[in-house]
Chain A
């Protein structure tokens, strides 16, 4: 009977250890810092997500959010990650016209701040995920959507 108790205790420890692979969302401090990267743009909302460690060859489905954008508005999208991961994570903006494989915009290492001038009001999608070939650790990432101006 003692052996069963020990086995279950080990299973418990393994289960706890397993949860350590699950990442957490970025802290609010990082969200606020990322929002200030937008300069004079007005913060509208954030997309805060955890990125889990992927198995070898596994593709990250990412986290997606729906967002309504309005005609004539210039929006700013910013992606922030912990240091060293700038080129490993991407934020994309897409819709039915420009699906995720051919999005309206996609961030990269040198362009983590990008503006989008909307010409059609409606529902769009924001996705944040590991770029293909990356994902060897758990981490977090945050996207910021802000308002730059009208009819620019």
Chain B
């Protein structure tokens, strides 16, 4: 009897002691190679890759940029929700989830409540399939979407749900799916940008597209890391063409003096740098073509 208690107590002590480490916040040492040149070499350890994946922009940022340029709303540039029926593999589901999340961001920014519920429903279905639905509070989101007083809360909850789903994929060893999710967000954001430029030419939007050259390089490293996973090779080939289209674009940063001022009670730091993007119309057209090709391939198969 005593032996049994002894054994149980021993197991309990070991279990508690070993769980202590898991309970503490992961202190992240920023990979040296990222700090030095803004990109990372492909390594076998997925932790540095996870750091890059987590850095990618929010599903709402491109939509917010578009809206802040006073560009009118257009539903026809969004992924049709019926396309989700074609997302049969986890590869397509993850990328599709990213794309639909970017669309949800767009709808949120333009306050299109009637369409939001339709997109929430599809996202919930994909999240179920990927077993990350516990981070997508569909009922609350739906309730917020049906009350126009709660649109800010809706926007925040939908963005934070997206990040929590993405984080959960990485924390459960599915970084490849997380990488696809951020790729989906990025490519759909770029698609929205080139589509609004098609509706009405915007040099500001074109600059924003050209400026993504270095971000694309980081994303490309992430995709290359997972090259051996199913379907990645084909996506990388498509990204090779996109990278090639960016080849001639030059981004120059002219250093300047940073200044800090107080505006309306808020301290504002203006970086003194100035970024100059050189891109011809032909180069832009080739980039836009490749973006559309990658995006439409996923929803037309």
| A5 in contact with B55 (CB, 8 Å) | no
Report which of A5, A18, A43, A123 forms a contact with B34, defined as CB distance below 8 A.
A123
CB-defined A-B contacts under 8 Å, sample of 6:
A23-B25, A72-B208, A72-B211, A104-B269, A123-B55, A147-B58
| Distance of A67 Cα from B171 Cα, bound (Å) | 18
How many interface contacts (CB-CB < 8 Å) are there between A and B?
Answer: 181
* Interface hits, A53-77 → B, CB 8 Å: 61-68, 70-74, 76
Contacts of A50 in B (CB 8 A): 24-25
Contacts of B211 in A (CB 8 A): 70-72, 121
Does A42 interact with chain B (Cβ within 8 Å)? yes
Residue count of chain A within 8 Å CB distance of chain B = 65
Q: Closest B residue to A74 by CB, please name it.
A: B268
* Interface hits, A111-152 → B, CB 8 Å: 111, 113-123, 125, 145, 147, 149-151
Known: A19-B16, A45-B163, A46-B160. A71 touches B57 (CB 8 A): no
Known: A5-B2, A66-B34. A16 touches B16 (CB 8 A): yes
Tell me how far the C-beta of B256 lies from the nearest C-beta in chain A, rounded to whole angstroms.
8
Which segment of B7-15, B113-121, B235-243 sits at the interface? B7-15
Tell me how far the C-beta of A93 lies from the nearest C-beta in chain B, rounded to whole angstroms.
8
Main secondary structure of the interface of B (DSSP, over half): helix
For the complex of A and B, 4 pairs with smallest distance between CB atoms? A66-B55, A44-B58, A8-B9, A119-B271
| Distance of A120 Cα from B29 Cα, bound (Å) | 23
Known: A64-B30, A66-B34. A45 touches B273 (CB 8 A): no
Q: Closest A residue to B156 by CB, please name it.
A: A43
Known: A64-B28, A68-B56. A35 touches B156 (CB 8 A): yes
Report which of B23, B160, B269 forms a contact with A22, defined as CB distance below 8 A.
B23
Contacts of A151 in B (CB 8 A): 204
| A66 in contact with B16 (CB, 8 Å) | no
Q: Which residues of A contact B (CB under 8 A)?
A: 1-2, 4-5, 8-9, 11-12, 15-16, 18-19, 22-23, 25, 28, 31-32, 35-36, 42-46, 49-50, 52, 61-68, 70-74, 76, 95-96, 99, 104-105, 111, 113-123, 125, 145, 147, 149-151
| A19 in contact with B69 (CB, 8 Å) | no
| Distance of A50 Cα from B23 Cα, bound (Å) | 10
Tell me how far the C-beta of A136 lies from the nearest C-beta in chain B, rounded to whole angstroms.
18
Report which of A9, A15, A31, A61 forms a contact with B160, defined as CB distance below 8 A.
A31
Binary contact track B29-48/A, C-beta < 8 Å → 1, others 0: 11000111110000000000
